[in-house]
């Protein structure tokens, strides 16, 4: 909890519809996208940015090593923005400003506990589940597949691992109701 969160949900209109205990957006300029005042990294968050970039680099190296062309995978992806969140619960959305895929990782002791076969969200909608409750962990990233016209949802386990997804397709965080979930999303705008 030593992170100095810049925004508490409800105090900022930076992103409508965000449901999270804490939500921090950091960004830097790129050649393609000049930096706005809102995207500048405040001095108190420079260390968060640096640690997150080191973590991304380390996770990329351990998961994929070098690319076929001999270049290092880390050199090919330079994020312009970072979201750090605590207990983010996302409804289906598209990150329309993204210009390419994003990386996501989650950490914590979160899970889902239920004796029901379906989940009821706060808005009253019900999610049907065809998997056994024992296999339902919760907190996975759900992404509509570009194959089959979005008819298939792919579950991506980001717990203690790095995943590359395209935020320009509908995606959300699968429901969880126990524990604490921290997530980092590296992306380019």
> Contact, 166 vs 104, CB < 8 A?
no
Residue 94's pLDDT band, with cuts at 50, 70 and 90, is: very high
What pLDDT does residue 27 have? 84
Q: Provide the whole-model pTM.
A: 0.75
pLDDT digits (tens, 9 = 90+) for 110-150: 998 865 555 555 555 555 544 444 456 899 999 988 776 65
What pLDDT does residue 147 have? 73
Q: Characterise 9 by phi-psi region: left (phi > 0), alpha (psi -120 to 50), beta (else).
A: beta
Residue 44's pLDDT band, with cuts at 50, 70 and 90, is: confident
Range list of β-strands (E), 61-101: 81-86
């Amino acid at each position: 909890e030593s992170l100095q969160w810049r925004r508490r949900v409800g105090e900022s209109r930076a992103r409508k519809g965000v449901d999270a205990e804490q939500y921090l957006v950091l960004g830097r300029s790129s050649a393609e996208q000049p930096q706005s005042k809102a995207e500048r990294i405040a001095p108190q968050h420079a260390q968060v940015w640096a640690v997150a970039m080191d973590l991304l680099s380390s996770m990329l190296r351990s998961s994929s090593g070098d690319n076929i062309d001999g270049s290092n995978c880390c050199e090919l992806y330079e994020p312009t923005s970072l979201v750090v969140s605590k207990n983010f619960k996302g409804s289906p959305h598209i990150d329309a400003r993204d210009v390419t895929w994003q990386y996501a990782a989650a950490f914590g002791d979160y899970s889902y506990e239920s004796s029901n076969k379906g989940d009821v969200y706060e808005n009253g909608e019900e999610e049907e589940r065809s998997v056994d409750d024992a296999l339902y962990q919760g907190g996975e990233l759900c992404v509509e597949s570009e194959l089959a016209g979005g008819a298939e949802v792919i579950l991506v386990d980001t717990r203690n691992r790095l995943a590359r997804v395209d935020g320009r397709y509908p995606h959300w965080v699968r429901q969880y109701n126990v524990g604490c979930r921290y997530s980092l999303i590296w992306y380019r705008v």
